[in-house]
Chains A and B, each alone.
Chain A
């Protein structure tokens, strides 16, 4: 039996996704501190490096970042909810459904707004 699988139900996937999204957002933050700090070193260098954010691949990455942030944020609220209100754990599956729903909806809406300037630059 694979010891890394703990009954493998929704709660475990929520836990793993919380971990993975948290770790990835943290890695992004470490990089982001360096790229923003370039503004102090040399504004032109900052602008050159920062131009990468407008690249279509980077924009797709940003949609993923949004998804990671939203999932981790709202799943964090879900954890807090049943830490402080133990009765709420009876509704943990429903709450996870809400978290996933919000993540997907905000990724679609946010994704459209983030990609729009790339595909329709004239509308800016």
Chain B
């Protein structure tokens, strides 16, 4: 977009502005907003602890098939990994959706990009779930 230089906004901070008189309408974007915050908080623990186990506590070279088999012997670790898979994929997909909405302006290109990303993620989610469940 080619915007000309606009005058700077008056020097009031966001905090000083009057509060909204009524709550904004609750729609899917509001749910998306909550989902990003809630899943993000959970992922902070799941992802960082996963990285800690596989790269810090253990040398990554030792996390072979035997290591996976030992871990997935415990259904709670399967649940942990599945939660990380599901939340990571959907938190990430929603983030990529924001990016596509911001940068892809031609409607059919945006629709095509979304179809590709959603299709890929659903396929990988199904494949990953199958791997964890049937191992």
Contact = CB atoms under 8 A, between A and B. Distances in A.
Pairing of A with B: yes
Nearest to A87: B15
Given A43-B65, A117-B61, A33 B37 contact: no
Contact of A23 (B4, B15, B88, B95): B95
Interface size class of A (residues with CB under 8 A): 35 or more
A29 interface: yes
B92 A29 contact: yes
A86 B60 contact: no
Dominant secondary structure of chain B at its interface with chain A: helix
A103 B48 CA distance: 12
A107 B35 CA distance: 28
A124 B96 CA distance: 40
Interface size class of B (residues with CB under 8 A): 35 or more
B104 to A, nearest CB: 14
A3 B1 contact: yes
Given A36-B68, A65-B51, A76 B40 contact: yes
Contact of A47 (B47, B48, B64, B95): B64
A40 B124 contact: no
A44 B56 CA distance: 24
Nearest to A25: B92
Given A39-B65, A54-B61, A69 B48 contact: yes
Q: Ordered nearest first, which 7 A-B pairs have the shortest CB separation?
A: A54-B61, A26-B92, A43-B65, A37-B131, A117-B59, A33-B128, A73-B44
Interface of B: 1-5, 13-15, 37, 40-41, 43-44, 47-48, 51, 55-56, 59-61, 63-65, 68-69, 85, 88-89, 92-93, 95-96, 99, 120-121, 124, 127-128, 130-131, 134-135
17 contacts: A19-B95, A23-B95, A29-B92, A33-B124, A34-B127, A40-B130, A40-B131, A43-B69, A46-B64, A50-B65, A73-B47, A73-B48, A76-B41, A76-B44, A90-B13, A110-B56, A113-B56
